[in-house]
Amino acid sequence: MFVQGPPSRAEAPTVGDALLVRAGESWRLETEGALDLVAFELPEPLPAGLPGEVRPDWDPRITDTPGGCATEGDAYRRILLTWKPEVGPYILHQLNAHRVRINDSFSHYHPVVGGFDEFYLVQQAPAGARLLTSRAVEAIESRTVTATQAETLIQSRELAVDDLIYLPRGTMHRGLGGALVQVISVPGFVPRSEVGVDHHLWAINKQLDLQGPDALPFHVVAARTRVIK
- Look at residue 195 and tell me if it is in a domain: yes
Say what the pLDDT of residue 10 is. Answer: 62
Q: Which of 120, 119, 105, 43 is nearest to 70 (CA)?
A: 105
Mean pLDDT, residues 199-225: 97
C-beta neighbour count of 173 within 10 angstroms: 20
Give the SS3 label for residue 149: helix
Does some domain include residue 173?
A: yes
Q: Looking at the domain assignment, is residue 16 inside a domain?
A: no
The pTM assigned to this predicted structure is 0.94
Is 9 inside any structural domain? no
Q: What are the pLDDT digits (tens) for 33-49? A: 678 999 999 999 999 99
pLDDT of residue 5 exceeding 90: no
Structural domain includes residue 186: yes
Do you know the residue count of the chain? Answer: 229
What is residue 136's three-state secondary structure? coil
Q: What is the mean pLDDT of residues 184-189?
A: 93
Q: pLDDT digit string (tens) for 153-179?
A: 999 999 999 999 999 999 999 999 999
Our count of domains for the chain comes to 1
- Domain hosting residue 110, numbered range: 63-224
The tens digit of pLDDT for each residue in 94-125 reads 999 999 999 999 999 999 999 999 999 999 99
Domain containing 184 — which CATH number? 2.60.120.10
71: exposed, middle or buried (C-beta count within 10 Å: 0-12, 13-18, 19+)? Answer: middle
Is 187 among the domain residues?
Answer: yes
| 155, part of any domain | yes
State how far the Cα of 46 lies from the Cα of 53, in Å rounded to an integer: 12
Distance, in Å, from the CA atom of 64 to the CA atom of 104, rounded to the nearest integer, reads 17
Give domain status of residue 199, yes or no: yes
